[in-house]
Structure 1
Amino acid sequence: MSEQRQDIPDPTVLHLLQPDEQLYLKTRAIDAVLAVTDRRLLVADDQRVLLDISYDRLRRVQFDIERSRPATLVIVPESPSDEPQLLAIPPEEYERAARALAVIGERLSES
């Protein structure tokens, strides 16, 4: 399930990782990238980091798929000071998004 950091040339995510942090996977939304690591969730666009939280600061994740539209991935942090993220996931990213959800679910069940 994990991917090697050197196999993912996306500078939006790579420069945010700690030297010993493992990137499990990333998925591309229409306007941002979601990265799932062994420590945290990152959401970033080309300009800035939109969300950077550890799993114990995550309250809820919701994934909705509708006909003829991109799926909606909602990430709700525990703290109101961390802005919830609403990501539009294109159909070609559904499989990666599903794997991301599985990892996130496993991490949430551990905390």
Structure 2
Amino acid sequence: MYYNAGYAGQCTWFCWGRAHEKTGKRLTFHGTNSGGQWYKNINTSNVTKRSDSLGPVTNSICSCSAQTTSAGHVIFVELVDGDTVYYTEANANGDNKISRDDGIVKKCSKSSFPPRRKAYGYIVL
């Protein structure tokens, strides 16, 4: 869906595809579907919204602020193991181009997730 719409390389393109790959779900939204609005505008059955204050869980998408734009960002949470969050993302630097670190598993502590951003909420798949 996002590739055909010309969004290849963006965070939404990656997270939509990763969510579909891992769960088979095709996410849909009402209103805008920019990364920062995913939590608010998700319109897919069989997903759960989780407050940002509860933190990330395995197989969830963090809808959060961006570093360089007002559109926001989404990050796929691959695994939460104790205090460590393993995650993948695309376009983390906001240049709208496919980068070497897109889709590479990264990790950080729960207390510092999402890195350098503010979480708006989690979509649990």
Q: State TM-score, norm by structure 1.
A: 0.29
Specify which structure has the bigger relative contact order, considering alpha-carbon pairs within 8 angstroms and separated by 6 or more residues: 2
Q: Decide which structure has greater strand share.
A: 1
Q: Decide which structure has greater helix share.
A: 1
